[in-house]
Amino acid sequence: MPTPNRREFLTTAAGTCAALSLGRLPADAADVSFRGRIRKAVKFHMVKDDNRSLHEKFQLLKDLGYDGTEIHTKLKLDKHEVQAASEAAGLPIHGVINSNNTDINSAVDLSKFYGGSSVLVVAGRVNENMPYDENWTEWLGRLQAAAPYAQQQGIRLLVENVWNNFLLSPLEMARFIDEIDSEAVGVYFDVGNVVRFGWPEQWIRILGSRIGKLDIKEYSRKLQQDAGLWKGFNVEIGEGSCNWPAVRQALDEIGFAGWATAEVPGGGRDRLADIARRMDDVLALAPV
pLDDT digits (tens, 9 = 90+) for 44-76: 999 999 899 999 999 999 999 999 999 999 999
Scored b (16 or more CB within 10 A) or e, 122-139 reads: bbbebeeeeeeeebbeeb
Judge whether 34 and 241 are in contact, CB under 8 Å.
Answer: no
Identify how many contiguous H helices and E strands the chain contains and give both numbers: 10, 8
CATH classification code of 6-22+37-283: 3.20.20.150
For residue 83, the model assigns a pLDDT of 98
For residue 288, the model assigns a pLDDT of 62
Beta bridge pairs of residue 71:
96
Q: What is the mean pLDDT of residues 15-32?
A: 48
Q: State the virtual CA torsion across 279, 283, 286, 288 in degrees, nearest 10.
A: 150
Which helix (H) or strand (E) is 270 found in, with range? helix 269-283
Q: What is the mean pLDDT of residues 30-35?
A: 81
Judge whether 107 and 96 are in contact, CB under 8 Å.
Answer: yes
pLDDT of 9 above 50: no
CA–CA gap between residue 17 and residue 201 (Å, rounded): 12
